[in-house]
Amino acid sequence: MMHRAPLLMLMLLLTGPRAHAAEDAIARSGAWSEDALPVQPSARQVIERAFQNFYHFDEHSQIEFDVRSRGGAVLHYETEMMRKFIDGRAHQLFYFEGDSDMRGRRVLRIERTDRADDAFVYLPQLRRIRRNVMAQRADKLMGMEVTLEDLEIQRLEKSEILGSSFSNVAGEPAHIVTLRRLFGGAYDRADFFIASSDYAMLEVRFYRSGALEPFKVTEMRRETMQHYAGHVLPSRIDFIDREQGTETTLLFTHREVDPELRNDRFTTLALEKRQRLSWMRTHGAEAED
């Protein structure tokens, strides 16, 4: 026993400092402290980050719409879209090209905070502008299966948070935030599936009042995501309308985030001048019809 004592003392001297150092490292890392555990964002923080990522930036895009029905019929539309926030309100301009009856049609949408948004449609056949009633946001957008409601800018102040949970989308961890609309529309509430890693919007499910199953689902798959400064955005969006039996695909074939856009393009006067935008034919050059 006398011979073992010096050996035990030596072992304690050698291992003691290392053990204490390890404990200090764990304490510094917070592994033993509940207060130091990662703080999960609130539902409000999650949805605000997601909306900021998905909606709140200026944009210039070329979009192709494909509408498929149960019978297999396919409608195709080519659209150029500009969006600019002017005085904090979103202004969106859509220009339709292609060989369909939508060719040459333009839509100007101006966001309003105190009432329904303003929408003005230029009809090339009549050579006139018609004002649309945006209070009927669930109406189909000029014959397409996409509604005005599908294209509106989402703002948290226009909804209330009903709850949140966690799930996964195609194996990816995601927050689910449920919002209820404060104003009229086609849906009562919606589940927003938001990627935990980067707040990318992965899926949205829309419900009627009292319904347990969604009547419409919007899907944005991870493999279609594109990265821009401060934004992760899908290059493809699928709208599945379970009631109508239709599926509409939006394919972004070209997109610029936060480009320089002139304010005067977002006026009814610009619609009356019938100015072509840029990418459909000239890719950057301004032209007149």
pLDDT over 70 (residue 264):
yes
pLDDT tens digits, 82-100 = 999 999 999 999 888 765 6
What pLDDT does residue 99 have?
59
**Side chain identity, residue 19:** A
pLDDT band of residue 35 (cuts 50, 70, 90) is: low
What pLDDT does residue 197 have?
95
What pLDDT does residue 17 have?
42
What pLDDT does residue 58 have?
96
Higher local confidence (pLDDT), 106 or 234: 234
Q: Which CATH code of 2.60.40.1180, 2.50.20.10, 3.40.190.10, 3.50.50.60 fits the domain covering 43-280?
A: 2.50.20.10
- Give dist(CA 80, CA 64) in Å, integer: 9
What pLDDT does residue 29 have?
42
Q: How many helices (H) and strands (E) does the chain have?
A: 3, 17
Q: Which of 73, 66, 72 is nearest to 98 (CA)?
A: 66
Instruction: Tell me which of 71-80, 172-181, 199-208 is least confident.
Output: 71-80
pLDDT band of residue 140 (cuts 50, 70, 90) is: low
pLDDT, mean of residues 96-121: 77
Bridge partners (DSSP) of residue 163 are 178
- Give dist(CA 53, CA 153) in Å, integer: 12
Q: DSSP character for 201?
A: E
What pLDDT does residue 27 have?
39
Q: DSSP character for 39?
A: P
**Could you tell me if 92 and 271 are in contact, meaning their C-beta atoms sit under 8 angstroms apart?**
no
What pLDDT does residue 40 have?
83
pLDDT band of residue 281 (cuts 50, 70, 90) is: very low
What pLDDT does residue 257 have?
96
- Give dist(CA 175, CA 285) in Å, integer: 43
What pLDDT does residue 21 have?
43
What pLDDT does residue 101 have?
66
Higher local confidence (pLDDT), 139 or 75: 75
